[in-house]
Structure 1
Amino acid sequence: MGSNNNEVALELAGFIRIYKDGRIERLTGNEIVPTTTTSDPKTSASSKDVIIVPETGVSARLFLPKITQASDQKLPLLIYIHGGGFCSETPFSPRYDSYVSSLVAEAKVVAVSIHYRRVPEHPLPMAYDDSWAVLQWIASHSNRNGTESWLNNHADFQRVSMIGDSAGATIAHNMAVRATETPLEGVRFVGLGLVHAFFLGEDPVDPEVSDEGIKAKANKLWMMICPSTIGCNDPLINPAACTNLKGLACKRVVVCVAEKDPLIGGALFYHKTLHKSGWEGELELMEVQGEGHVFHLFNPTNDKAVAMKTRLASFLNTD
């Protein structure tokens, strides 16, 4: 009887294990590090956690760089959306807390790192809806009369950018699409950074950079985590299916890819699709050779990781 309890129904290697008896074991991103209400000794940035939707637990970790000028100094606002296959990690894990804090310190920006509900307990598109709820909450501060003083006092709502990695990049793109369809009053999006994004499509890339085995697994995964999907032609995961990509709500997009990332095909497909869409913003492809998926999170002191963070910091400060 005991052995049956340990039978695995589904496993996403390195992320999550689901047993036949319904138990869920997340394999990464479970540790929570406390906020730094004074300042992080490594980055001099401060952080705090806020509950945004009490009924669902949707929340965020906010970051503020060391303010050296007047207390009402307005800084660019970064909305960060973490990865983890839609099923693991949080803004509160050591990996994401450290990375976002260091990016905030280098770029001198205010940041809201979103904690959305995760699959399988909360199937997609719930993570998209949760992230949109956070964006609406952020927009409620644009009149300087919101519930969070850091946003009221320090965020420049005319210089707002989103960055996401892996699954978080997929969500970030969709948030930019929603902001096109339903503009957020008082918020001007200027930048969208997609790092090692997860995208699908019928024929996403040229054969030389396409791995059919990986594509098949990615398609299967998508069908399982988003039961209401229409398949790989769903605009939630396939940029070519977005009818209003041409009007994407930002001025600049940077697509970061890594040579050894098994998901590189979808990210290159996104870059190609946006380029052909008629969107009139500035599009950049940042390629890193010899590295794998989200290498910058696993080895943040790597020279290439440092260079990528510096590039993203510059990106966040371009009007």
Structure 2
Amino acid sequence: MGTEKEFDRKVELEKEDGHVLHKRLSQVDPEMAAKLHPHDKRKVARSLQVFEETGISHSEFLHRQHAEEGGGPLGGPLKYPNSCILWLHADQSVLDERLDKRVDDMLAAGLLDELRDFHRRYNQKKIEENSQDYQHGIFQSIGFKEFHEYLITEGKCTPETSNQLLKKGIEALKQVTKRYARKQNRWVKNRFLSRPGPGVPPIYGLEVSDTLKWEESVLEPALEIVQSFIQGRKPDAAPVKMPYSNTENKRSSHMCDLCGRIIIGDREWAAHMKSKSHLHQMKKRRRLDSDAFTTIGSQSISPDRDKELEEKGSVGQNDEDLKSSV
């Protein structure tokens, strides 16, 4: 029951405007607010939820975890101290092909029937009540929302249109599956390889591009690594290393006044400064500044201005003539 209430509160917070939530978080936990983007409502809402339920800021909780014996950049101490991670990875083209085939296999195994049944039992009423939300619970899972148009129009449109929507859903499912696989790889790199330190287990890469070499490329090296850890000796294989910067801050907050955007992270900020959108805004600003300068310059040398100066000069000369005559 408690977990359900916590979830409901988080969902309730996420319904509010992101900037309003972020402003509220900055008042109770400025350190965490500086690390989170206003658009990242899930994390902002979670930090607010922690403070509301405990009276302690989320950032303070994290500091306490890091300070525990065995704690580190990943948080508190690991449950099993002498651990390692086996990371199976493949060439991107090979992985993409496998993921496409995986979707085809899921469809052949009855994915559409499962989706229709779930839609009829749990989703159709929500759509009729205009209360559907693909951002929470099972509804955010990959493989459901991609077929939304197909499911709500099946039997209500021509077979040709229905078939087109089905193909669209299948293609969307394949694309989002491949995108998620890339995200998982980035997560491994950012979570473990980019932040080495105490408490971060070593990562051992196992190449799985060629399944015909599974025994020699995956199984045997994996068994040797695990056996080495059990026996307390160093494995023959070397863990994966990735260049990283000790000074790079993944949670630094930058405000680009030119683009009106908040950028989180030093690397993201550097990328933004080189992005097409930012360079376009810079070019646009220079053009506006140049036009404004030209306008001011043209006003200073306009014929009317010259005439005005000439008249003033004539008045001055007449005064001098009058003085000399007196």
Bin for the TM-score computed over the shorter chain: under 0.3
* Larger strand fraction of residues: 1
Larger Rg: 2
TM-score (norm 2): 0.22
* Larger helix fraction of residues: 2
